[in-house]
């Protein structure tokens, strides 16, 4: 498909321009996707405003999906017209990390939306192996959620949530609220979803996280202790990047408890002395999670995420605070940077 398309193009940190560029030409093993929706990720804020992409100009946006409109020579032409989510990570498949299926640790990866052009555009060129087709009847907009839902699944799998566990999640941005929903889907008894923002805790309650706690109105630790017979939780997740939440998560864990970290740090972290001591005495495990998995064995994480979305075990619709056209991409970034109005998940719909 020759011609021009509209895109939000990053020319330098802070310089995101809505402009016309050439429609990308798919290679032999690629497809061309007409983007239906692309989520704005928390990581897009520094990427667009301060740190930049790996080179310029680049089109950011890595949480997206849409419709296959063109297929390369080695791709089944019958794929045309199908709706798919896009896995933005393109691993080299030859380095040591890739050999063991740890694609998120690839040493020479490409990434749509930071190293190559991504989803804040009408069209994106995508390798055929990076598509996850949506089942018949699923809203194609949902494709934009597959990436954060898969990241959240990775967090749960790295830290293991078992049937009957009590769980606390600090920070109810997109990743945190998906971690909380996954914890429920994995059979947790109580899922204490904690956020300082009353609107976010209300949304959490509405989607079935009935133990959600607004940390600015209630003493979260006291409530959790009350509801767990003063025991605390088996697993805690820090999804806000705040040092205060990190210390709260440590404080609320049982002996042998597991602390999963996924929130990008808002600053340096000071661990209080009693927390430091507790890590030793109570033999706590602290584990970080980066990105998502997508090796095929034993389960393709994105396929699991898709099933959970399709079966309604993970809900996305109530999390959408804004649907904005492509020309408003910079406005979306500003809303998230300045916190000038309430936002949860902002979707760009080119």
Contacts to Zn ion by CB under 5 A: 41, 43, 91-92, 95, 98, 106
Q: Measure the CA–CA gap between 325 and 136, rounded to whole angstroms.
A: 26
Structure tokens at 215: 């940390």
CA distances from 247 to 214, 221, 239, 344 (A): 17, 11, 13, 25
- Who's near 269: CB < 8 A, 6+ residues apart? 243, 246
Least distance (Å) between residue 219 CB and Zn ion: 32
- Who's near 286: CB < 8 A, 6+ residues apart? 258, 259, 261, 279
3-state SS, residue 20: strand
Least distance (Å) between residue 177 CB and Zn ion: 14
Instruction: Give, to the nearest 10 degrees, the angle between helix 146-159 and helix 301-310.
Output: 110
Point out which residues pair with 243 in neighbouring strands: none
Pick between residue 26 and residue 61 the one whose CB is nearest to Zn ion: 61
Pick between residue 279 and residue 324 the one whose CB is nearest to Zn ion: 324
Pick between residue 92 and residue 266 the one whose CB is nearest to Zn ion: 92
Least distance (Å) between residue 281 CB and Zn ion: 36
CA distances from 207 to 19, 263, 330 (A): 38, 22, 29
Least distance (Å) between residue 280 CB and Zn ion: 34
Least distance (Å) between residue 4 CB and Zn ion: 28
- Who's near 197: CB < 8 A, 6+ residues apart? 172, 214, 216, 342
Pick between residue 109 and residue 192 the one whose CB is nearest to Zn ion: 109
First-residue to last-residue Cα distance in the chain? 17
Least distance (Å) between residue 44 CB and Zn ion: 7
Pick between residue 115 and residue 254 the one whose CB is nearest to Zn ion: 115
Pick between residue 95 and residue 223 the one whose CB is nearest to Zn ion: 95
Pick between residue 119 and residue 232 the one whose CB is nearest to Zn ion: 119
Least distance (Å) between residue 92 CB and Zn ion: 4
Point out which residues pair with 195 in neighbouring strands: 214
Q: Measure the CA–CA gap between 329 and 326, rounded to whole angstroms.
A: 5
Least distance (Å) between residue 293 CB and Zn ion: 14
Pick between residue 25 and residue 92 the one whose CB is nearest to Zn ion: 92
Q: For residue 44, what is the enclosing H or E element?
A: helix 44-46
Pick between residue 43 and residue 199 the one whose CB is nearest to Zn ion: 43
- Who's near 80: CB < 8 A, 6+ residues apart? 68, 69, 70, 71
For residue 161, give the DSSP letter.
-
Point out which residues pair with 91 in neighbouring strands: none
Least distance (Å) between residue 290 CB and Zn ion: 11
């Amino acid at each position: 498909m020759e011609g021009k398309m509209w895109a939000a193009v990053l020319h330098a940190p802070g310089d995101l321009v809505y402009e016309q560029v050439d429609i990308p030409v798919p290679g032999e093993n690629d497809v061309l996707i007409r983007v239906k929706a692309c989520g704005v990720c928390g990581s897009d804020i520094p990427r667009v405003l301060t740190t930049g992409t790996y080179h310029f100009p680049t089109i950011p946006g890595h949480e997206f999906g849409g419709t296959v409109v063109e297929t390369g020579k080695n791709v089944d032409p019958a794929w045309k017209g199908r709706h798919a989510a896009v896995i933005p990570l393109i691993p080299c498949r030859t380095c040591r990390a890739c050999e063991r299926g740890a694609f998120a640790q690839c040493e020479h990866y490409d990434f749509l939306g930071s190293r190559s052009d991504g989803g804040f555009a009408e069209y994106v060129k995508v390798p055929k192996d990076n598509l996850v087709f949506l089942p018949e009847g699923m809203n194609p907009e949902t494709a934009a959620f597959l990436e954060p839902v898969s990241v959240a699944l990775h967090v749960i799998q790295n830290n293991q949530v078992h049937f009957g566990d009590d769980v606390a999640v600090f920070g109810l941005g997109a990743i945190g609220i998906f971690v909380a929903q996954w914890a429920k889907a994995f059979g947790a008894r109580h899922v204490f979803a904690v956020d300082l923002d009353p609107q976010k805790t209300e949304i959490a309650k509405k989607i079935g996280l009935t133990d959600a706690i607004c940390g600015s109105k209630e003493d979260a630790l006291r409530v959790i202790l009350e509801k767990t017979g003063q025991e605390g939780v088996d697993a805690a997740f820090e999804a806000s990047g705040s040092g205060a939440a990190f210390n709260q998560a440590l404080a609320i864990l049982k002996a042998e408890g597991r602390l999963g970290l996924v929130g990008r740090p808002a600053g340096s972290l000071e661990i209080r002395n009693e927390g430091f001591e507790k890590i030793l005495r109570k033999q706590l495990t602290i584990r970080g999670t980066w990105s998502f998995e997508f090796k095929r064995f034993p389960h393709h994480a994105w396929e699991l995420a898709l099933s959970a979305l399709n079966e309604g075990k993970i809900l996305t619709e109530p999390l959408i605070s804004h649907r904005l056209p492509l020309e408003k991409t910079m406005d979306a970034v500003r809303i998230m940077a300045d916190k000038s109005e309430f936002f949860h998940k902002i979707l760009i719909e080119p």
